[in-house]
Amino acid sequence: MDDGSPLRTRAHDRRARRRRLSRSVSAVVVIAVFAAIALASCSGGDESSDTKKATTTTKAETKVDITLGPVSADSAGLPATVSADQSQRVLDAITTYVKGALVQPLLSGKPATADFGGVFDPTTLASATTTDRAVVLDEGLPKVTGNLTVTAPPVWLLGLGDKSGNLVLITASISLDATGETKVKGDPLHIERRADLVFQPDASGTWKITSYDMVVSRAGSGLTPTTTTTASSTTTGAKKK
């Protein structure tokens, strides 16, 4: 048996050439398919094209995650407690505030339209929506067109009881962190808000904000310098040329 005959060698070479050609053609086809899919999906091509129909759209999501943290009470006399129901009502008011003051204006790109009468008492509402509006409400910012995520560490509640142990107020410390994708190129919109809120029940028993101490910082591309009438406001910025 002679395995190294010329006839046998030529046949081996032909098979090797066919395998190489086959592999090259396969590679070109795979690359072309991947490239076509990838580029067609990001191209601004004809609306009626078949490739446009093949793309998938991810719907923007809005997440607001605010939960209750430690709840306690101090008192000027007999012991006071904050009940589970009272805690939940305060948390609900905070969530209503966040949705109306932050989420709605950001998603709509328009001023807040929520009715905050159930969240603030009348006197405090007047300040919150006039003098302190630029701090309390997130208006005049780029519209969030992508995902909007609002997170916060668990909210701490501390009640104050009078000499008889009756609960007269509840303070809530919140620290919100919101990030939203806008159409403005560059960094997403990022809002940090720290607030001490004081709640008191009104005549109907609804716990409403009667005072606040709030600090907000907003960062991201496309924010324009604004003049506010709040107690303290600074604006800085620069654009690379």
Partner 1 sequence: MLVVGPLLCGLVLAGAITVGWVVLGEPVPAHGAVWFQVTKLGTARNNGGPQQPFFVLALGTGARSDDPAQSPDDPGLADAVHVIGINPGLKAATIVDIPRDTEGPGGAKINSYIVNNPGGNDLRAEADAVQSIVGVPISWVIRLNFPHFQQMVDEIGGIDVNIPQQMDDDFSGAHFAPGLTHLNGEQALQFSRDRHSFSNGDLARSHNQGLLIISALQTLQAKHPSAGDTVRLIATLGRHAKLDNVSIWDLFHMGSQTLSFDAANIKNVVLPVGDGPGSNLVKSGDAAGLLADFADDGVLQTH
29-48 binders of partner 1 (CB under 8 A) = 32, 35-36, 38-40, 42-43, 45-46
Q: Which of 160, 176, 178, 180 binds partner 1 (CB under 8 A)?
A: 160
Question: 22 CB contacts (<8 Å, ≥6 apart)?
Answer: none
Least gap, CB of 24 to partner 1 (angstroms): 19
d(CA 145, CA 143): 6
**For residue 86, how far is the Cα from the chain centroid?**
27
**Can you tell me whether residue 38 is helix, strand or coil?**
helix
Candidates 21-29, 84-92, 175-183, 195-203: pick the segment binding partner 1 (CB under 8 A). 195-203
Q: Tell whether residue 227 is a contact of partner 1 (CB under 8 A).
A: no
Least gap, CB of 114 to partner 1 (angstroms): 18
Q: Which of 90, 119, 132, 179 binds partner 1 (CB under 8 A)?
A: 132
Torsion 76-80-81-86 (CA) sign? negative
**For residue 196, how far is the Cα from the chain centroid?**
21
Which helix or strand (DSSP H or E) is residue 190 part of? strand 189-201
Q: Which residues does residue 150 pair with via DSSP β-bridges, in sequence order?
A: 64, 178
Q: Tell whether residue 117 is a contact of partner 1 (CB under 8 A).
A: no
If binding means CB under 8 A, how many residues of this protein chain bind partner 1? 73
Of 115 and 213, nearer to partner 1 (C-beta) is: 213
Least gap, CB of 156 to partner 1 (angstroms): 7
User: b/e map of 143-162 (b: 16 or more CB within 10 Å)?
Assistant: bbeeebbbebeebbbebbbe
d(CA 201, CA 10): 97
Of 114 and 134, nearer to partner 1 (C-beta) is: 134
Candidates 7-15, 19-27, 72-80, 100-108: pick the segment binding partner 1 (CB under 8 A). 72-80
Q: Tell whether residue 55 is a contact of partner 1 (CB under 8 A).
A: no
Concatenated DSSP letters of 89-144: HHHHHHHHHHIIIIIHHHHHSS-----GGGTB-HHHHHHHTTTTHHHHS--SSPPE
Q: Tell whether residue 145 is a contact of partner 1 (CB under 8 A).
A: no
Q: Tell whether residue 81 is a contact of partner 1 (CB under 8 A).
A: no
| Residue 137: exposure state from Cβ atoms within 10 A (0-12, 13-18, ≥19) | buried
Q: Which of 68, 109, 158, 175 binds partner 1 (CB under 8 A)?
A: 158
Q: Tell whether residue 76 is a contact of partner 1 (CB under 8 A).
A: yes
Of 95 and 124, nearer to partner 1 (C-beta) is: 124
Least gap, CB of 59 to partner 1 (angstroms): 25
Q: Tell whether residue 223 is a contact of partner 1 (CB under 8 A).
A: yes
